[in-house]
C-alpha cells in the first residue's frame, strides 16, 4: 500500500499523443498477491516479449481480498489493496518509458453487496434511507415488489437474502449495536429513529427485509449479476450514475494514465449501445472492446462505437479449424455409449444432444423454482401493470405470462435481442424471437414477444419490459448454457467454452478464412483470445483434448478401460469428465483435480449444486479423484497416454498460438500463456504467475529445439509479437496447398511480406502418410525466411516437408524484412 508520505509519482503528460490501437495486449490478473507494484516490476519483461499494451483486470476498490476485482465497492478510488492511484501512476510511467500503454477492465453493470455491508457506502445509504436516499436511483431495485415498512405502506423495501435460516430461527443471532444491526459478519444500517424499538418492531420499520438465503430464487427484487446475490446491478443508464461510477477512470484517461477500456458484461446493461456512445463521447473515442458473447453466426451490432469484442468469437474459430468435425461427432456417439444411452437428450428439444442440453439448462433457469425465477417474476409484474392500465393487453393470467416467458427465454438462441424502445427491432432479433415461439398463435406468447421487441409503442412499463427482457435473456443464456448445459454434456469438454457451439464441432478452412476476412473488413482492431480468466480450460489444455477427436474410438476404449481399472465410481458421466480433465491438465495434484470436478458437478446441478449440495456425492467425487491419482496401475497408464498425445498436442498448441498472433485483430495474451499453460476453470486459472521466471527463460528461448515445447511456444510468441510491433500486417489472403496432405495445411498471407502456415489435424495427417507430395505456393518476388528457424525458402512451390521439417508451423517473411 502506498504511504501518504511517499512523493507523488510523475503524471504522464495529458497532451501526449495517442499511441493508436494496440498491436497486442497482455492480460494481468491483479489481486493482493500480484499488485500494481508487481506489474510495474514486470514491465521490462512484457516490453521485451513484444506486446504494446498491458491489459489490467478491474482497478477500482473491491471487496477486501478479492482475487478478481469484479466486486466493486467504491468507484471513487483505485484499489488500495492493489497499491492505490500512486502505484497505478508509477506503472503507467514505467510502461510509457518502455513504449507500452494501459487498457483497463471496466465493470459498469454491478457493485458488490459486501460483508460488512458498510464497505459499499452508496448501498449502505440506500439500506438506511430507502427510496428517499440520493443513491436510490443508483441500484436496479423493484421497490414495489416487497411490502414496505410498517409505517410506509406502498413504498416497498429491499429483500436481503443473507440469513442462514428462516428469520424466526435466527432472531437471537441479530444484535442491535448503536445504529447498526449485526448478524455474524454482516453490518446493516438502522433507519434513523428505530434503534430503540423492540427487535421485531425494529425489523418491521427498516427499508430492507432480512430473509433466508433460499428465498432469493423467487423473491429477490433487485437485479443482480446472473444469479450472484452478492452483486447488485447498477443503473448506469442514468447519466448521473454513469458520471459518478466512471469519473476516476475517465480522469485517468484524460491525464494519459489509461489509454483504453475493456467493458465487462455489456449484455447486462439496459442500453449497451447508449452506454457505449456515452463512454465514447466522454473518452474522446478511446480504444474500447466489449465482452460480447456472439452465438452461432451472430455479428457484433454495427452501431456500437467500439473496436470489437474481447475475443471469444476468435477462440471458437481457431479451436474449430483445429478440431476434426467428423471425429468429434463420432466421439459424441462414443460418449453416449459410455453413459449407456442418451441421457443428454431432451425429447423435442433439438436434433443434437448439445442443443438439447442447452435448452434444457435454460428451462431449468426460468422455471418456478429456477435460479432466475425472480427475474421472470419481475417481467410478469411489469406485464400485469401494462394489462391493468391498457385494456387491449389485459386478461393475461400470471401463469400464462410465466409460460410464455419461459418458452421465449428458453428458445431464444442469442444472448439478447437488440431492440430499443421507440425504434424498429432489428430484423435478426425479431426473426429469432418469433422462431423461438415455434409457430405459436397463443395470444399471450404473441403479446410477450411484441413487448420484448418494443413493438407496442412507448410507455414507462412497455419500455421497461423491452429492456428487462433483454437483460434477462442474457442471464438465461449465460447461466442456462455455459454455466449449466455445458457442464452436463461432456462429449468433448474442450468445446464447452463461452460462446461455443459443441453441436457444431469443427470448422472447415474455407469457413475460417471467410471469418478472418469479415474480421479484417468490419472489426480490424477487435481483440482475439485463446485463454482468458473465464475459460473453462486453457488453450493448451484444449489442444490436448482436440487430439482425442481424431481418435474417438481408441479414446473411448481407453476411457472405458480406465473406469474398469478404477472400479465403480459415483457415476459414468463423472468418470468421463475425470478422464478428460486428467488428460487436459496433466500433471495435476489431487486438490486441483477434486476442486475442478466439484465445481463442474455443482454447476451441472444434477446430483449436487451450490444451493443444495449432496455431501455424500461430493465426497465420493473427491475420493475418486484422489484414488485414481494414487493408483500405481492407473497413474502410469494415464501418463503414458498424455505422452503419446504430446506430438499432436504440440502441433495444436503451436498452430493455435501462431494463428492467434497473425490473423486480423489484436491478440490478447493471458498471463503465462506465452508458455504452455494447462489450467482449468476459475479459480484455477486466476493464480499468480511468476513473470520473473518467464523473463529469465525469454533470454534463451531462441535456442529452443524441437520438442522443447515451453521454449518453442515462448520463442514463437515473442517472434510474432515483435513482427506485429515492427509494422502493420497487410491484407489477409488465403493460400491453398495442393497434394495429398493439403487438407492438413492452413496458410494465409498478410500483405506481400508475411505468410503463416500451420498444421491442422496432425494425428490424421500422420495416419494418412504425412505430407508426401504436398506443396505450398509462396508468393513471388524473392526468397522467404522462416522467422522461427531462420531457414530460407525460394518463392514458388515449396514442399511442405521442407517448410515444416522441424516445426509444425512456419512464420515467413521476405528476406530483409524484420
Cα separation, 736 vs 487, in Å, equals 38
CB of 415 closer than 8 Å to CB of 477:
yes
Distances (CA, A) of 790 to 200, 296, 803: 79, 40, 11
Nearest of 106, 373, 113, 124 to residue 227 by alpha carbon = 373
Mean pLDDT of 275-302: 96
Tens digits of per-residue pLDDT, 172-191? 999 999 999 999 999 999 99
pLDDT of residue 459: 94
Tens digits of per-residue pLDDT, 192-211? 999 999 999 999 999 999 99
Cα separation, 194 vs 473, in Å, equals 40
Cα separation, 498 vs 605, in Å, equals 18
pLDDT of residue 352: 65
Nearest of 622, 576, 619, 581 to residue 340 by alpha carbon = 576
Tens digits of per-residue pLDDT, 76-124? 999 999 999 999 999 999 999 999 999 999 999 999 999 999 999 999 9
The answer, yes or no, to whether residue 10 has pLDDT greater than 70, is no
pLDDT, the chain, mean: 93
Mean pLDDT of 250-277: 98
Cα separation, 293 vs 487, in Å, equals 18
Comparing 27-31, 298-302, 523-527, 813-817, the range with the smallest average pLDDT is: 813-817
CB of 209 closer than 8 Å to CB of 158:
yes
Which residues are within 8 A (CB) of 686 and not within 5 positions of it... i.e. 6 or more apart? 29, 31, 67, 68, 533
pLDDT of residue 6: 31
Sheet of 110-112: strand order equals: 110-112, 228-233, 224-225
Compute the C-alpha angle 78/80/86, nearest 5°. Answer: 65
The residues with which 175 forms a beta bridge, in sequence order, are 182
Mean pLDDT of 31-54: 98
Which residues are within 8 A (CB) of 89 and not within 5 positions of it... i.e. 6 or more apart? 9, 10, 11, 12, 257
The answer, yes or no, to whether residue 150 has pLDDT greater than 60, is yes
The answer, yes or no, to whether residue 13 has pLDDT greater than 90, is no
Residue 18: band (very low, low, confident or very high) from pLDDT cuts 50, 70, 90: low
Is pLDDT larger for residue 426 or for residue 41?
Answer: 41
Cα separation, 52 vs 24, in Å, equals 5
Comparing 65-74, 444-453, 554-563, 699-708, the range with the smallest average pLDDT is: 699-708
Chain CA centroid to CA 185, Å: 31
CB of 103 closer than 8 Å to CB of 25:
yes
Cα separation, 552 vs 558, in Å, equals 10
Tens digits of per-residue pLDDT, 614-629? 999 999 999 999 999 9
Distances (CA, A) of 526 to 218, 260, 271, 719: 39, 13, 21, 21
Q: What cell numbers appear for 401 in the block?
A: 405470462
Tens digits of per-residue pLDDT, 208-228? 999 999 999 999 999 999 999
pLDDT of residue 438: 84
Number of helical H runs and strand E runs in the chain? 28, 27
Tens digits of per-residue pLDDT, 336-390? 999 986 544 433 344 467 777 887 888 888 988 899 999 999 999 999 999 999 9
Instruction: Name the CA dihedral angle for 592, 597, 603, 605, rounded to a multiple of 10 degrees.
Output: -150
Give this prediction's pTM. Answer: 0.95
The answer, yes or no, to whether residue 154 has pLDDT greater than 90, is no
pLDDT of residue 815: 67
Q: What cell numbers appear for 580 in the block?
A: 478428460
Amino acid at each position: 500500500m502506498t504511504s501518504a508520505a511517499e512523493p507523488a509519482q510523475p503524471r504522464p503528460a495529458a497532451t501526449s499523443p495517442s499511441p493508436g490501437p494496440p498491436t497486442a495486449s497482455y492480460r494481468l490478473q491483479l489481486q493482493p498477491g500480484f499488485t500494481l507494484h508487481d506489474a510495474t516490476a514486470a514491465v521490462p519483461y512484457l516490453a521485451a516479449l513484444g506486446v504494446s499494451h498491458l491489459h489490467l483486470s478491474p482497478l477500482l476498490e473491491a471487496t477486501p481480498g478479492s482475487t478478481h476485482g469484479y466486486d466493486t465497492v467504491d468507484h471513487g478510488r483505485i484499489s488500495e489493496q492493489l497499491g492505490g492511484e500512486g502505484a497505478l501512476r508509477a506503472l503507467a510511467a514505467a510502461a510509457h518509458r518502455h513504449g507500452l500503454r494501459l487498457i483497463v477492465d471496466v465493470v459498469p453493470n454491478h457493485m458488490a453487496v459486501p460483508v460488512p455491508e458498510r464497505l459499499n457506502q452508496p448501498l449502505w445509504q440506500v439500506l438506511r434511507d430507502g427510496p428517499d436516499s440520493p443513491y436510490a436511483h443508483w441500484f436496479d431495485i423493484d421497490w414495489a415488489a416487497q411490502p414496505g415498512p410498517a409505517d410506509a405502506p406502498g413504498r416497498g423495501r429491499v429483500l436481503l437474502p443473507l440469513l442462514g435460516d428462516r428469520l424466526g430461527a435466527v432472531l437471537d443471532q441479530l444484535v442491535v449495536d448503536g445504529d447498526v444491526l449485526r448478524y455474524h459478519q454482516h453490518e446493516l444500517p438502522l433507519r434513523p429513529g428505530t434503534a430503540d424499538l423492540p427487535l421485531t418492531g425494529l425489523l418491521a420499520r427498516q427499508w430492507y427485509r432480512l430473509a433466508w438465503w433460499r428465498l432469493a430464487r423467487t423473491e429477490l427484487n433487485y437485479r443482480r449479476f446472473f444469479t450472484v446475490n452478492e452483486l447488485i446491478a447498477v443503473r448506469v443508464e442514468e447519466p448521473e450514475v454513469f458520471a459518478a461510477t466512471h469519473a476516476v477512470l475517465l480522469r485517468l484517461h484524460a491525464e494519459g494514465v489509461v489509454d483504453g477500456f475493456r467493458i465487462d458484461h455489456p449484455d447486462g446493461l439496459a442500453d449497451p449501445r447508449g452506454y457505449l456512445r456515452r463512454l465514447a463521447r466522454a473518452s474522446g473515442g478511446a480504444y474500447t472492446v466489449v465482452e460480447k458473447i456472439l452465438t452461432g453466426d451472430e455479428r457484433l451490432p454495427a452501431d456500437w462505437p467500439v473496436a470489437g469484442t474481447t475475443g471469444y468469437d476468435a477462440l471458437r474459430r481457431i479451436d474449430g479449424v483445429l478440431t476434426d468435425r467428423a471425429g468429434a461427432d463420432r466421439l459424441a456417439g462414443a460418449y453416449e455409449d459410455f453413459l449407456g444411452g442418451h441421457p443428454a437428450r431432451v425429447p423435442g428439444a433439438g436434433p443434437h444432444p448439445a442443443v438439447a442440453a442447452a435448452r434444457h439448462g435454460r428451462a431449468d433457469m426460468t422455471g418456478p423454482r429456477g435460479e432466475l425465477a425472480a427475474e421472470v417474476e419481475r417481467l410478469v409484474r411489469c406485464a400485469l401493470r401494462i394489462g391493468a392500465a391498457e385494456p387491449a393487453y389485459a386478461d393475461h393470467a400470471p401463469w400464462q405470462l410465466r409460460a410464455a416467458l419461459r418458452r421465449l427465454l428458453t428458445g431464444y438462441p442469442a444472448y439478447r435481442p437488440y431492440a430499443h424502445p421507440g425504434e424498429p427491432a432489428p430484423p435478426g432479433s425479431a426473426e429469432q424471437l418469433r422462431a423461438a415461439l415455434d409457430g405459436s398463435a397463443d395470444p399471450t406468447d404473441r403479446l410477450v414477444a411484441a413487448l420484448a421487441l418494443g413493438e407496442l409503442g412507448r410507455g414507462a412499463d412497455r419500455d421497461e419490459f423491452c429492456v428487462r427482457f433483454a437483460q434477462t435473456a442474457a442471464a438465461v443464456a449465460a447461466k442456462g448454457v455455459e454455466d449449466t448445459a455445458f457442464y452436463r454434456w461432456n462429449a468433448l469438454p474442450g468445446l464447452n467454452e463461452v460462446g461455443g457451439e459443441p453441436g457444431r464441432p469443427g470448422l472447415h478452412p474455407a469457413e475460417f478464412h471467410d471469418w478472418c476476412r469479415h474480421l479484417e473488413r468490419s472489426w480490424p482492431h477487435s481483440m482475439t483470445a485463446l485463454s482468458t480468466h473465464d475459460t473453462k480450460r486453457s488453450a493448451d489444455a484444449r489442444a490436448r483434448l482436440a487430439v482425442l477427436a481424431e481418435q474417438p474410438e481408441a479414446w473411448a476404449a481407453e476411457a472405458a478401460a480406465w473406469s474398469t481399472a478404477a472400479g465403480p465410481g459415483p457415476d459414468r458421466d463423472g468418470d468421463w469428465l475425470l478422464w478428460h480433465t486428467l488428460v487436459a491438465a496433466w500433471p495435476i495434484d489431487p486438490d486441483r483435480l477434486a476442486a475442478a470436478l466439484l465445481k463442474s458437478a455443482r454447476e451441472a446441478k444434477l446430483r449436487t449444486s451450490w444451493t443444495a449440495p449432496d455431501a455424500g456425492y461430493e465426497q465420493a467425487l473427491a475420493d475418486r479423484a484422489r484414488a485414481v491419482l494414487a493408483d500405481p496401475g492407473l497413474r502410469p497408464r494415464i501418463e503414458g497416454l498424455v505422452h503419446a498425445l504430446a506430438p499432436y498436442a504440440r502441433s495444436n498448441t503451436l498452430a493455435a498460438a501462431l494463428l492467434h498472433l497473425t490473423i486480423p485483430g489484436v491478440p490478447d495474451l493471458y498471463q503465462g500463456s506465452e508458455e504452455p499453460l494447462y489450467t482449468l476453470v476459475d479459480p484455477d486459472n486466476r493464480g499468480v504467475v511468476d513473470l520473473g521466471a518467464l523473463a529469465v527463460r525469454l533470454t534463451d528461448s531462441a535456442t529452443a529445439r524441437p520438442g522443447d515445447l515451453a521454449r518453442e511456444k515462448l520463442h514463437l510468441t515473442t517472434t510474432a509479437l515483435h513482427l506485429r510491433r515492427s509494422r502493420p500486417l497487410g491484407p489477409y489472403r488465403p493460400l491453398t496447398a495442393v497434394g495429398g496432405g493439403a487438407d492438413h495445411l492452413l496458410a494465409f498471407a498478410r500483405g506481400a511480406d508475411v505468410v503463416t502456415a500451420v498444421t491442422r489435424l496432425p494425428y490424421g495427417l500422420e495416419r494418412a502418410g504425412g505430407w508426401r507430395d504436398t506443396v505450398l505456393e509462396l508468393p513471388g518476388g524473392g526468397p522467404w525466411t522462416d522467422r522461427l528457424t531462420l531457414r530460407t525458402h525460394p518463392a514458388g512451390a515449396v514442399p511442405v516437408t521442407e517448410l515444416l521439417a522441424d516445426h509444425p508451423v512456419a512464420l515467413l517473411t521476405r528476406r530483409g524484412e524484420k
